[in-house]
Amino acid sequence: MGKGKRTCVVKSQERLAEDVYSMWIQAGDMVQEAGPGQFISVYSKDGSRLLPRPISICEIDRPAGALRIVYRTVGEGTREFSEYGQGESVDILGPLGNGFPEVSRNKEVFLIGGGIGIPPMLELAKSLTCKKSIILGYRDTLFLNQEFEAYGDVYVATEDGSAGSRGNVLDAVRDHGLKADMIMACGPTPMLKAIKAYAEEHHMECYLSLEEKMACGVGACLACVCQTKEVDHHSNVHNRRICKDGPVFRAEEVIL
């Protein structure tokens, strides 16, 4: 019935930085429905790790029926995934959630990624035909930044100043005097909070991709909620499910 959990095959795996890996998955027809900002649930083969890891889709190759995820090894589950070689099976569910909206050609957009929030911005950068300024924030080591260059002007910020602007993504925006009509962003909550405030101040339309610990990934368990300004029609309280109603929300509807 409909979408489902399926066993797929790893096409390739590559290490991009000390703890950041890139995996291409032969995922079949499910990639046809996938869009930028959506995620997949990836399941461990170890029965002691029950919950799927939600990982954003970094790239979609529809003709090849393949998906790319770029993820950080933060615990045993993601460490297990990083050890999968070409030909290894991998259980996934998806595509899940609602991604970024389409944007008309005449708009100018900031695509902002911070840390492991950078990967989903790559497919978004590929898919948007409007004018894009791509701003990427890192702690120190860069990854994926060169791949973005084909799709727009790329500006980098690092916390230690080892590359690009010293500081965060908004420091890079200010350093380069960048302007746009709209923001689309994914990254750690403090970054999203600052971007939300920046967008309000500059009267910019803004979409944020949020993250929270998830269990089911499909909207049933109510683990991954975010606070909302208005009462949500589904929950009937001031929160929404990140996995099912998001992960991308209009900035003004959520309270970070």
- Can you tell me which residue has the tokens 């996995």? 243
Q: Taking a C-beta distance cutoff of 8 angstroms, is the pair 247, 210 a contact?
A: yes
Kindly state whether residue 236 participates in binding another protein, applying the rule CB under 8 A. yes
Contact region for another protein (CB under 8 A) — 48-56, 57-65, 116-124, 178-186?
A: 48-56
Least distance CB 22 / another protein (angstroms): 24
Kindly state whether residue 255 participates in binding another protein, applying the rule CB under 8 A. no
Least distance CB 164 / another protein (angstroms): 27
Least distance CB 237 / another protein (angstroms): 4
Contact region for another protein (CB under 8 A) — 117-125, 158-166, 232-240, 248-256?
A: 232-240
Distance CA 231, CA 8 (A): 39
Least distance CB 240 / another protein (angstroms): 11
Distance CA 239, CA 163 (A): 38
Q: Which residues of 229-256 are buried (b: 16+ CB within 10 A; e: fewer)?
A: eeebeeeeeebbbbbbbbbbbebebbeb
Binding test (CB under 8 A) with another protein, winner from 93, 116, 156, 191:
93
Instruction: Between 5 and 202, name the residue whose CB sits nearer to another protein.
Output: 5
The DSSP H or E segment spanning 207 is strand 205-209
